[in-house]
Amino acid sequence: MVRNLLDPIEKEIIDLVEQHEEVWGYSEKILYDRCIKDMKKARLCEIEEKDVNGPVKTFLINWGQMGRVLGRENKEDWEKNLVYKLREICKELEKFRKLKLENTTLSNHEDEIKKCYREIRSVVGPTAATKVLHLLCPEFFPMWDNAIRKKISNECEEKSGVRIGDSEEGYYKYMEVIQGFVKRYDKILSNLNNKYKQSKLRIVDRYMWFVTRK
């Protein structure tokens, strides 16, 4: 069992990603990869409701299991509202589409990162917001869920007194933490990236998802 999510030995990352592939690999290729591929074709400043009802909704509900959250009363018309928000922040998102988290000085983009998360979070909530951001910019925005965020927050708080909540400030701190993880384990993540043809951030997500479910 991995004791520290953020400080594993390399073999633990490999073993857990391979276990995830064995259990979920087929559905990954059907849903995750297809949604990522389809969204790459979308021009975000011209995004339409059909785009949200297509790959975005499929990604959130069928792949991300967010149906119960999005079905709540305060999420009525979330598809239409999300279209408006994505158009408002399309220029920032288009820029982030071209960046990779491990190669970016995050402090140069702090306000824009927080803005993107804040605007999308206002429509779909904190967990789904990170999934939307990742779907649009899979090399730049990492995903979380409550279990992953809380585990990382606990480890950061024990180590440096930093708590990671689900606010825009919390997500920015989370990106800093994940960036450090990707840089620290770059060699093994690059190998897994080449093997499974998925972004390093998706490899990290697969590892962290499995750890927090064991």
Residue 151: per-residue pLDDT: 95
Residue 14: per-residue pLDDT: 95
Contacts of 125 (CB under 8 A, 6+ apart): 69, 75
Nearest to 206 by CA among 107, 115, 153, 138: 138
Residues of the chain with pLDDT under 70: 1, 71-76, 214
Residue 20: per-residue pLDDT: 86
Please state, in angstroms and rounded to a whole number, the distance separating the CA atoms of residues 83 and 210.
32
Instruction: Give the chain as a DSSP string.
Output: --S-TTS--HHHHHHHHHHHHHHHHHHIIIIIHHHHHHHHT--GGG--HHHIIIIIHIIIIIIT--HHHHTSGGGTTHHHHHHHHHHHTHHHHHHHHT--GGG--GGGGHHHHHHHHHHHHHHH-HHHHHHHHHHH-TTTPPP--HHHHHHHHHHHHHHHS----SSHHHHHHHHHHHHHHHHHTHHHHHHHHHHHT--HHHHHHHHHHHHHH-
Please state, in angstroms and rounded to a whole number, the distance separating the CA atoms of residues 85 and 101.
23
Residue 73: per-residue pLDDT: 44
Q: Where are the domains of the chain?
A: 22-213
Q: Read off the tokens for 31.
A: 């849903």
**pLDDT, tens digit, for every residue of 24-47?**
777 777 889 999 999 999 999 999
Residue 210: per-residue pLDDT: 87
Place of tokens 């930093």: 162
